[in-house]
Amino acid sequence: MDLSTMNKEQLQAIKTTEGPLLIMAGAGSGKTRVLTHRVAYLLDEKQVPSYNILAITFTNKAAKEMRERVDKLIAEDASKMWISTFHAMCVRILRRDISYLGYDTSFSILDPLDQQSVVRDILKTRNLDTKQHNPRSILAVISNYKNQLIKPEEAIAEAGGFQDELYSEIYKDYQEILYRNSSLDFDDLIMLTIELFQKEPNVLSYYQTRFQYVHVDEYQDTNHAQYQLVQMLAAKYRNICVVGDSDQSIYKFRGADIQNILNFEEDYPEATVIKLEENYRSTKTILDAANAVIGNNTERKPKNLRSNKGDGVKIDVQVSFSEREEGQRVVQKVQELSDKYSYGDMAILYRANAQSRAVEDAFVKSSIPYKMVGGTKFYSRMEIKDLMSYLKVIQNPFDDISFQRIINVPKRGIGAKTIDKLRAHAEQLNSSIYDAIRDADFLGIPAKTVGKLMSLLQVLDNLKEKSKYMTMTDLVDEVLADTGYHDMLSSDKTLEARSRLENLEEFKTVTKEFDNDNPVADDNLFNFLSDMALVSDQDGMDDTAGVTMMTMHASKGLEFPVIFVVGLEEGIFPSRRVQFDDGELEEERRLMYVALTRAMDHLILSRAESRMLYGKTESNMQSRFLSEIPEELLESAGSIAAGFSGGKSGVTPTTGSSFSRGPKKRSRIINTNKTGTDFNVGDKVSHKAFGDGIVSQVKGEGDNTELDIIFNSAGPKRLLANYAPLEKKD
């Protein structure tokens, strides 16, 4: 195996195979290349059987890429090596041994919509209003309990108030329903695997003995449960290699604990630590900007990325009057750069999905092709959910959640009263609705309805048999035909029905890909459903030409020659809710670091003087993160630039820029008196976005003078006197 192209640190990381190893890999430093070569080195040079190697990644896409790279590097058969995400690994472990915990081995995996449905049913049973108790908020609490490996009984015992007690009780109800349905949510996959290992030491011993070399990518993003799982698997041989970057820990809201990587040397005192600081992705200018920003954090392992690509061009800063103009400026820059780069080489990053609207509108109006990551998800569409529910019931008859979705779709004349009787009978027998149907004759259900239920049961039983010898594509065709679902949509001549049929046809693209990779086998349906449940936003990215739009979180692990970061304003990014929490603020700064280091050649940073978001228009100062970038790295274009108060640099407009507007296009009215003292209480003013108003209070002095203004239509606002686009009125 040729290692001649590796730098000194990369080579050391590849050849350090025994004992704990922490690879602190900066953005763009070739960590995936190092990880794959390290695995290949173990197989080829150290003659380690592939059976003894485990590599854990955070996305299916990364796992697939790693396997393909390893296969290209060596001639040996690496098929027995496990390369997968945490969740996919746990599915394999639980599929083999979950019966020890009382679950059926044909368990279902709930998606977020299914989870919300379960919580809504619990709230309904408890006569609680979903407006007061948001199902998604409750699920976030439950997820946090599971990430901390706290079971319902412990949560109830530790509850510190009425809401804690209520949500702990709902957690208990939720787990009981999932158990009865032999269903798991994402967090269960890891929590139950740990429970299995604790309950059955022989099972843990089997995997500890098997996985003598454990690799974990993106270690800074592990939560407590994932950390515990890795500790258990690596305890016997301690040949654990973790790769990560404390500066890219951005998933605290999902339970990620940055201390896992910061404390690695405490967990493994004999650990070797190697830093990968040579960046192969970005120009020196981009890296200098990223280093300057992240240098303001204290909770990190110090390192300094260096580039091997030269200085590159300066970073563009665009300042627009509104979010609509911001979208137009992004389009103008995309059109300018399209002479050198394809649309697929460019990406727009934003803090929250809601910010995408104005940019998307500008793309639509300019006819520039674009694709969105993490927007309305294909698998959340009604017809896809219906089809998946049929497949889940065929695989797992205990799955009442899915069964209730499709029992009367297409309409079969099976009403709510019938379903309630079946559900009550199922609960009495501690069984499933599927089995309860067999007793329908004795439940006071009309004979005509019983006939329809029995007919449905016959269809599902037949489809279960077909699933054992059919490809997934053929099985989908059979499901749509035998259940009458295809006929239901075909007979409906509306455009909506036609669109749904097209989506079902598109779904076959997914099944055909699965069929190409998997020969027909008894467990194909289970494997297919597991794959579908573990799909992430990045897995769904297509390769079609178009500018990519995504949140900064979704961009993690990706790179583009051209990156736009929009919405760089205080209150937007960093978010207003974190501005006075140092820990949360450092997390936001890490997110900025991730966004900056996605760029290879060109980086465009954008902000707006006023922005309408969530139905409210606000004027915010420039983001402190933009102010933390040294001025000499920036080149600005726009209406007006205002630095964050107390920041390291201010940004001044560059005349003659291709994005500067001359006075003929619009005259800018700003307070040119830098002391800010020419506004007094009672002054009538006019603002470009907010309209007419009256000054109610003047606070501060100099650059920090603030005006409280009551606008006729927009209500009270607090603005910086020096930078707000205000005009005095007589």
Three-state secondary structure along 473-498?
HHHHHHHHHHCCHHHHHHHCCCHHHH
31 annotated binding-site participant? yes
Q: What is the C-alpha R_g of the chain? A: 29
Measure the N-to-C terminal CA separation of the chain; round to a whole number of Å: 80
161 annotated binding-site participant? no
User: How many Cα atoms are found within 13 Å in the side-chain-facing hemisphere of 374?
Assistant: 20
- For the chain, helix (H) and strand (E) counts, in that order, are 27, 24
Secondary structure of residue 293 in the 3-state scheme? helix
The reply to whether omega before 410 is within 30° of 0 (cis) is yes
Output the six-digit token pair for 193. 């695997």
C-alpha to C-alpha distance for 425 and 416, rounded to whole angstroms:
14
25 annotated binding-site participant? yes
- Which residues, including other chains, have CB under 8 Å from residue 528's CB and lie 6 or more apart? 391, 472, 511, 514, 518
Backbone angles phi and psi of 629, in degrees to 5: -85, 130
How far is CA 297 from its chain centroid?
23
130 annotated binding-site participant? no
Nearest Cα to Cα of residue 86 among 113, 63, 58: 58
Sequence-ordered alpha helix ranges (H) in 296-446: 323-337, 356-366, 382-395, 400-406, 416-429, 433-436
User: How many Cα atoms are found within 13 Å in the side-chain-facing hemisphere of 124?
Assistant: 6
C-alpha to C-alpha distance for 363 and 418, rounded to whole angstroms:
50
- Which residues, including other chains, have CB under 8 Å from residue 171's CB and lie 6 or more apart? 141, 142, 145, 152, 155
28 annotated binding-site participant? yes
CA dihedral 230, 234, 238, 239 (to 10 degrees): -90
Question: How many CB atoms within 10 Å of residue 10?
Answer: 23
29 annotated binding-site participant? yes
Question: How many CB atoms within 10 Å of residue 331?
Answer: 20
Q: At residue 339, what is the residue type?
A: D
C-alpha to C-alpha distance for 104 and 119, rounded to whole angstroms:
22
Please say whether the beta carbons of 703 and 645 come within 8 A: yes
C-alpha to C-alpha distance for 311 and 477, rounded to whole angstroms:
56
Instruction: Give helix 382-395 / helix 524-533 axis angle, nearest 10°.
Output: 140
User: How many Cα atoms are found within 13 Å in the side-chain-facing hemisphere of 718?
Assistant: 9
Please say whether the beta carbons of 207 and 97 come within 8 A: no
C-alpha to C-alpha distance for 106 and 618, rounded to whole angstroms:
52
How far is CA 513 from its chain centroid?
24
User: How many Cα atoms are found within 13 Å in the side-chain-facing hemisphere of 153?
Assistant: 0
C-alpha to C-alpha distance for 191 and 258, rounded to whole angstroms:
20
How far is CA 693 from its chain centroid?
42
C-alpha to C-alpha distance for 190 and 94, rounded to whole angstroms:
9
354 annotated binding-site participant? no
C-alpha to C-alpha distance for 496 and 494, rounded to whole angstroms:
5
Residues belonging to the active site: 31-32, 217-218, 248, 598
Residue recorded with tokens 């798991």:
184
36 annotated binding-site participant? no
C-alpha to C-alpha distance for 141 and 100, rounded to whole angstroms:
27
Secondary structure of residue 169 in the 3-state scheme? helix
C-alpha to C-alpha distance for 458 and 412, rounded to whole angstroms:
14
C-alpha to C-alpha distance for 265 and 252, rounded to whole angstroms:
21
DSSP-derived secondary structure letter, 518: S
Annotated binding site: 25-32
For the annotated binding site for ATP, the residues are 25-32
